[in-house]
Amino acid sequence: MIPNPTPPPTPSEAAALIKARARELGFAACGVARAEGPLDPEFARYESALARGLHGPLAYLAENVEIRRRVDTADILEGARSIVVVAARYDRADDDDDPPLARAIARYARGHDYHVFLRKKIRKLAAFVRTLGPDVHARPMSDTAPVLERAWAARAGVGFVGKNGMVITPGQGSWSLLAEVVTTLDVAPDAPIEERCGRCTLCLDACPTSAFVAPFVLDAGACLSGATIALRGPIPVRLRASAAEHLFGCDVCQEVCPHNARSRAEAPLASRHRPHERWATLTLVDLASIGLPDGPSFEELARGTPLHRAGPEGLARNACLALSRERDAASAAVLQRVCREHPSDVVRDAAAWALARRSE
């Protein structure tokens, strides 16, 4: 007699199994949402920001707009019933001891490129979901599809969206990267978490460039993360003094968040964000020299890190702005040389601005 096959898990059992596997993979939080239906009112907020041009240098946000409304179509996964959202924490208890150059880089970007290891982890979780029933389809996503992942994280109960636009997980804070598995499996959903910012406006008040138009509304064109990472071309003059403090990205709105003050225990995946050894020996002078005939190789410096997103011109530009805070002869010499010899007018402009600021 052929034994009966093991019946597929109930929605509640599936949720428990998936969350247990997510913990095994090192994820700090995991939640589930129903995949069907439009993602409103979050989608309406997104459309409003686009209409106002608040996406700034993040041009990709204006692409595939309708696809972002839902995940249960052929654009993401036809017949999807559930979306599993996970959070991978990257805060470290010892990040205050990072080398000076690393401390000018956003915490998530100081070590290995998170896309590499996070995608491996989320693919493993998707593979596990496929084993939970016959003909189960599951699509893993980590910056690989046009979805409003923060909104889905909120709907799945992974956290709530704070006034700075970050997903805050109660008891853990916002130092997390998100990833998703969209699946045809029926998984019991979690309840969304109510927003818990209350009257606090510390993040809005601390922004170095006043980039928040209102609570929950960010002008990406004024945000230092957008300016130092995604912007191609010169950084606007009004942002340069603040950009000089941040080589790649900005953490200020998270640093002042009270929810993050309660979160210092290191998570399993946080070790991947320990600074590369190269940040202990490299200097701003080295980075400002990228693009000069005898300058360092951008590919060598940025390989395996998120810094490649800024491109060689962007990283040299940012380093030149940062050198406006220095007063040593070596930094003055490299800025003068960049003004004379660098092939990029964007980098030359940044160096000229830095020299002028140093002489004030």
Catalytic amino acids? 143
Secondary structure (3-state) at 89: strand
Residues in the chain: 360
| Beta carbons within 8 Å of 45's beta carbon, 6+ residues apart | 216, 217
Question: Are residues 202 and 214 in contact, defined by beta-carbon separation less than 8 angstroms?
Answer: no
Give which of 265, 263, 238, 35 is closest to 145, Cα–Cα: 35
Give which of 206, 214, 223 is closest to 163, Cα–Cα: 214
Secondary structure (3-state) at 93: coil
Helix residue spans in the chain (DSSP H): 11-24, 42-51, 100-103, 114-130, 149-155, 202-206, 224-225, 237-243, 252-255, 258-261, 278-281, 284-288, 298-302, 311-322, 329-341, 345-358
Calculate Rg over the CA atoms of the chain: 22
